[in-house]
Structure 1
Amino acid sequence: MPARSQAQQKAAGAALSAKRGDTPKSKLHGASKQMVESMTEAQLEELAATRRKGKPDHVRH
C-alpha cells in the first residue's frame, strides 16, 4: 500500500529507522510512534519507498 501523503511517507521512514535500530524509539512522535509498534518492517519499507512527488502534504480521513 503506497503512502497517501508526504506526511505519511515521512512518518513511515522515521518508524522504519527506529525499527531497524538507527534511531531511538524515544525520539518518535505521533503517527510514527504508533507505526513502529503496529507495522512490520516490510510494510514500513513499502510506505517509506513511496515517491513524494505529486502527493499532498496531508490527507484528512
Structure 2
Amino acid sequence: MPAKSKKQQMAAGAALSAKRGERSKASLRGASRSMAKSMSKSELKELAETKRRDLPTRKRK
C-alpha cells in the first residue's frame, strides 16, 4: 500500500524513525504519532519508501 500523498509519506518516515529508536517518540505530533502507535514497522516502511515525485502534497477530499 503506497502512500497517497507527500504528507502521508513524510509522516510514515517520522513514525518509522521513532519505532527504530532514531528519534524520540515524544517528538512526534499528529498523524505520525498515531501511525507509530497503530502500525507495524513493515507497514510504515512500505509507506515511507514511496517515491514522492508524482504524489500530491495533500489528498483532497
Q: TM-score, normalization: structure 2? A: 0.97
Shift of 1:60: 3.3
Letter aligned with residue 43 of structure 2: Q
What's the Cα RMSD here? 0.7
Letter aligned with residue 47 of structure 1: L
Letter aligned with residue 38 of structure 2: S
Identity of aligned residues (%): 54
Q: How far, CA to CA, are the matches of 2:31 and 2:14 in structure 1?
A: 10
Q: TM-score, normalization: structure 1? A: 0.97
In structure 2, stretches of 5+ residues that fail to align are none
Q: Which residue is equivalent to 2:12? A: 12
